[in-house]
Structure 1
């Protein structure tokens, strides 16, 4: 018979899963996601941009803002290149799986025995050439998703050479997380490229196709479990709210997020989900799961006060002068000298106007893992008495 503890954990997860929709704010008991260890995930391979980067951009440019305090101030490790005051969602997912934090691929002599983080701050889905063709300015370094997939291919080739184990089944207990990715493509399109929403929507099939190709590549290499996250609601990010302020009250939803941006993100996420359905039908022996980052964040926003966040600061950044009430008197961002930092990041959802606080990442990870467990078809290990 299952133990009382296991039954309780199962009940909590079921309740959380059933009541996870954003509009349902009456069930805030977060599950013990250590149950995730029963999924027997031994390695995680993470792709994406700054929401997931554990240090790749720092290796490329040691002078970036996240290389210095107050970034990392809530972590014993201090600044590590993570765009937060501490840990990221992928860190909490790894801990929930019972494996060490993932090292960045570009770190010399790093331990990759439990997976690799290929994500890079500022990364896009489309290549630099693809963006340039759309008259969207690009950076000198192309760390797009295609580049990260090539890094993965090179990594596996080197591992096969060392381990002499290139059997297809070697990745059965591995989890591949393809994103979130695409947000930077759209940020550049709206900001530097001055694109309209209609023009940005024309980019969505191309962006999603890049994600689709990445999923096909990892499946071709033997992946059996693939997570494909959607994009967070851009219209709720303090940086977007500051840069695209509107005097039209109807431009905002009940939480004062910009509706048009969130509707656009919903368009992207819906297109992505349809693509995942197609991929799953074509690959019945691989589990492909959509990770609903959009509704995970909206759930936090709906329940912010009861989760311990300051209700008056849910759309403000903890570090720097960012948010809808910002007067934009300074162009200096978080990590620069004399930039204000809140005294308690755990009371804030947002860290620096774009990225999230450690606490937000922790809650997001709990929501997402609880949502993923039944979809990954994990077999829970029970104890007999």
Structure 2
């Protein structure tokens, strides 16, 4: 299995679906939500990605749909156009600025991190590609799935210094979420981190038969800080954390109970 796609509750949709309103979705982040911004040299444009949906590789880092497409469907709109194709495809449903492999800070992928993705969004707002009325009923989806932590360790970062680094990542995310809201997006959803210790690079040492507890603790600490930070933002607007950790664990237990096999994520 290449990617296990998950649907988790998204309480800021549904009630806003109205054919007479300018409903849009703006997406920022990494491979969990990228629908084609990486160029044709990226593996997302090669098989087996896309073999389930849309049946050919299409720039999604999945064998089927990614989270953006599930959320857009819940909102009753089409998936927003990747920024890369903004001059070639309709932009009335919003825009996707996410690039697979990126993070809150710079990673080894030569593509815009979340702050720079928001810069691209701000430029479109300044150019009035999207007006105040366009943004009035819009939602932002932000994914930061842990690439920053992988790069931190790859660059020789210590376990002792990891908690402080997690704090810096979440603090920057807080600034990013506030900035998206200040640009005119009233509802902002941030995806929590999935159980990092259950990814193949961590389960390999256990012959892919169990998760690494340290990796999962990193994810839990990140999610705790993220939830606390979002609670502090809530008085100003509608911010929500999507509980990816719980969704992954639930799906893993279901898969294991039904098949007797340990699920493999990529």
Q: TM-score, normalising length from structure 2?
A: 0.86
Q: Check conservation: 2:37, 2:59, Cα contact below 8 A.
A: yes
Answering whether residue 156 of structure 2 is matched by residue 194 of structure 1, we say yes
CA-atom RMSD, angstroms?
2.6
What secondary structure, in the 3-state scheme, does the structure 1 residue paired with 2:82 have? Answer: coil
Q: Against the structure 1 CA distance between its residues 199 and 303, is the aligned structure 2 distance closer, same or farther, given a 3 Å change threshold?
A: same
What secondary structure, in the 3-state scheme, does the structure 1 residue paired with 2:139 have? Answer: strand
Q: Check conservation: 2:141, 2:190, Cα contact below 8 A.
A: yes
- Inter-partner Cα distance in structure 2 for 1:31 and 1:67: 27
Residue pairs, 1:170-181, within 5 angstroms: 170-179=134-143, 181=144
Q: Deviations over 1:236-283 (max 9, x none)?
A: 1123222xx269xxxx9xx721111101111111111111111113x1
1:359 is aligned to: none
1:134 is aligned to: none
Q: Check conservation: 1:54, 1:81, Cα contact below 8 A.
A: yes
2:249 is aligned to: 298
Q: Check conservation: 1:124, 1:185, Cα contact below 8 A.
A: yes
Aligned length: 254
Q: Deviations over 1:83-138 (max 9, x none)?
A: 1111112111111221112221112422110011111011110146xxxxxxxxx3
What secondary structure, in the 3-state scheme, does the structure 2 residue paired with 1:90 have? Answer: helix
1:267 is aligned to: 221
User: Deviation at 1:194?
Assistant: 2.8
- Inter-partner Cα distance in structure 2 for 1:31 and 1:195: 32
- Inter-partner Cα distance in structure 2 for 1:271 and 1:312: 32
Q: Against the structure 1 CA distance between its residues 312 and 57, is the aligned structure 2 distance closer, same or farther, given a 3 Å change threshold?
A: same
What secondary structure, in the 3-state scheme, does the structure 1 residue paired with 2:56 have? Answer: coil
Q: Check conservation: 1:197, 1:264, Cα contact below 8 A.
A: no
- The structure with the larger Rg is 1
What secondary structure, in the 3-state scheme, does the structure 2 residue paired with 1:209 have? Answer: helix
Gaps of 5+ in 1: 1-29, 129-137, 317-349, 355-385
Residue pairs, 1:1-385, within 5 angstroms: 37-40=14-17, 42-58=23-39, 62-107=40-85, 108-127=87-106, 138-139=108-109, 141-158=110-127, 160=128, 166-167=131-132, 170-179=134-143, 181=144, 183-190=146-153, 192-242=154-204, 245=205, 256-281=210-235, 283=236, 286-305=237-256, 310-314=259-263, 316=264, 350=265, 354=266
